[in-house]
Amino acid sequence: MAKDNNAVQDGSNANASPAPTNGIVAASLAGLMPKDYSISIDRYNRGGTDRFLLNPPTERKQTMRGFEPEYMDIIDYIVRITHRIWEEGAVGYIYDTYRHDARVYDDTGLKYGRDRVVAETAISINGFPDNRAYADDVIWAGSDEVGFHTSHRAVNIGHNTGYTRFGPPTGKKVFYWVIANCVSIENEIYEEWVLYNSGSILKQLGHNLFDVARELAPQTDFSGLRDLRFGEPERLPGQGKPPVYPASTSGRFDVEDFIRRAYHEIWNWRLLNKLHDYYVPNVRVHSATDREMYGIGSYKSFILSMLAMFPDAALHIDFIYWMGNDAEGYRTSVRWSLVGTHRGPGIYGKPTGKQIYMWGITQHIIKDGKIKEAWMMFNEFAVIQQLVSYEAR
C-alpha cells in the first residue's frame, strides 16, 4: 500500500496492535488543522449545493498556489470539480485535476494512473447519467505548500439507465452516500481513498449482495488489497495483552489522542463499556449498506456482531486529521483498516475460516468532549467477495 506523503503515520504493521501514542502527527501537517469553520461547507451550503454552484464564492479565503484562479479555497475546489466531472459530464477535466500517476483506492483495491480514473468514471456516469452529487461535508487540513487533505462526504442520486459493473440497466432510482478522501496540490489530486455504499446500491437495484459477490469474485483482483501488512492478525504481543495508552499530559482536549484511545480501547481491548466515555448516549451512527444506529446500545450491538464474526480482529488507524475548536466542536476524518479471520457466525454466513481485509473512513462530530454523530463507511461488498471467492488470495 502506498505511503501517504502527508499522512499521519504511526507504524508499518497494521496487523499488530498499535503502539501507545500521544499525538503523532506528521511534521508536514502539524499546526495545519483548521481552528474554526470559516472555510467549511456550513459557511457555503446554506440553501444547498445548487445555490453554492450558482453563486460560487468570489472572495479568496486562503492561498491556492498552483490551483486554477477561479477556486477561492479548498472547499470551493473540491465541490466544483466534483460537480463539473460527475454532473456536467466533463470527464476529460480529470486530466487537469488528477496527476498522471494518481493512486486511487476503492473497495476492490488500488487503481493506478489517471487514464484508469478517466475510464472508470466514464463507466460510472454511463450507469447513472443523471447523477446528482450533493455535498454534505468536506473536512480538510493542510495547505497549498504541503498539500490539502480533504474528506468529502456526498449524497448521490440517479437512475440506472446504463450498464454498470453489477449488470445491465434496471431503470431504478438509487440514493446513496459516498466518502472520498483526497490529497491534492497545485490543482491535481495525486492520491484518493473512496468508498461508495455499494451494498446499498445493489439492494436498491434489486440485487442480492451474495449472489453478485459470487458472480464477480472470480473476476476481481484483490491484489490491491494485499500489502506487506496483510499477514496474520496480531492483537497480542506474545503471551501479553494489548498495550495500554499512557495518560494524556497535554492538559487540554487532544483530538488525536481521544480518537486513537477510543478505537484502541473499544476495538482492540474489546472494552465496550468504554463506549460511554467517548460517545453521547443518543449517538447517531450511519454506516455501510444503510445501517442506521441510534444510541450506544445499537452501536454496541454492531461492534459485537463484527467481533463475533472476526474474533481475532485487529484494527489500526492509518490516517487522521480534523478541524474545529473546543467551543464549536471538532469534525474528524479517520481512515482505518481491520484484519480478521472469519471464525464466528453472523450476517456473512457460516464461518469460512478465511481472512479478510476491511478498510473504512469514518467522519465524526465531537462536541463537549464526546462523539455526537458518525458516518462510518467501509468496503462491505468487497469483504463479502473475499469470503465467497473460490480461492484464498
Which domains can be identified in the chain, with CATH numbers? 1-31+227-393 (3.10.450.50), 41-207 (3.10.450.50)
Write out the E strands in 31-146. Answer: 98-106, 109-112, 132-143
Mean pLDDT of the chain: 86
For residue 189 the three cell numbers come to 489530486
Task: Check whether 9 has a pLDDT greater than 80.
Answer: no
CB-based contacts of 70, cutoff 8 Å, min separation 6 = 56, 80
List the Cα angle 260/265/271 in 5-degree steps: 155
Helix (H) or strand (E) holding 250: none
Instruction: Quote the percentage of the chain above a pLDDT of 70.
Output: 85
Task: Check whether 113 has a pLDDT greater than 90.
Answer: yes
Residue of 76 and 230 predicted with greater confidence? 76
pLDDT reported for residue 85: 95
Pairing of strands 314-325, 329-341: antiparallel
> CB burial class (10 A; 0-12, 13-18, 19+) of residue 390?
exposed
pLDDT reported for residue 158: 96
* String of DSSP letters for 92-111: GGHHHHEEEEEEEEETTEEE
Give the up-direction half-sphere exposure of residue 160: CA atoms within 13 A in the CB hemisphere: 21
pLDDT reported for residue 238: 57
Band of pLDDT at residue 28, cut at 50, 70 and 90: low
> CB burial class (10 A; 0-12, 13-18, 19+) of residue 274?
middle
> What is the tens place of the pLDDT at every residue in 357-374?
999 999 999 999 999 999
Give dist(CA 83, CA 355) in Å, integer: 38
Instruction: Quote the percentage of the chain above a pLDDT of 90.
Output: 73
pLDDT reported for residue 393: 45
Task: Check whether 16 has a pLDDT greater than 80.
Answer: no
Task: Check whether 228 has a pLDDT greater than 50.
Answer: no
Cα dihedral across residues 107, 108, 109, 110: positive or negative? negative
For residue 182 the three cell numbers come to 483526497
Q: Which of 89-98, 101-110, 120-129 has the lowest mean pLDDT?
A: 101-110
pLDDT reported for residue 234: 63
Helix (H, G, I), strand (E, B) or coil at 333: strand
Q: Which of 80-84, 245-249, 308-312, 346-350 has the lowest mean pLDDT?
A: 245-249
Band of pLDDT at residue 35, cut at 50, 70 and 90: very high
Work out the widest C-alpha separation in the chain, in whole angstroms: 61
Give dist(CA 201, CA 127) in Å, integer: 12
Task: Check whether 11 has a pLDDT greater than 90.
Answer: no
Band of pLDDT at residue 392, cut at 50, 70 and 90: very low
Phi and psi angles of residue 172, each rounded to the nearest 5 degrees, phi first: -85, 150
Give the up-direction half-sphere exposure of residue 308: CA atoms within 13 A in the CB hemisphere: 12
pLDDT reported for residue 226: 52
Give dist(CA 359, CA 317) in Å, integer: 10
Quick one: how far is CA 24 from the chain centroid? Answer: 20
The CB density around residue 131, as the number of other CB atoms within 10 Å, is: 16
**Residue 275 · residue 267 · CB < 8 Å:** no
Quick one: how far is CA 319 from the chain centroid? Answer: 10
Task: Check whether 170 has a pLDDT greater than 80.
Answer: yes
pLDDT reported for residue 26: 52
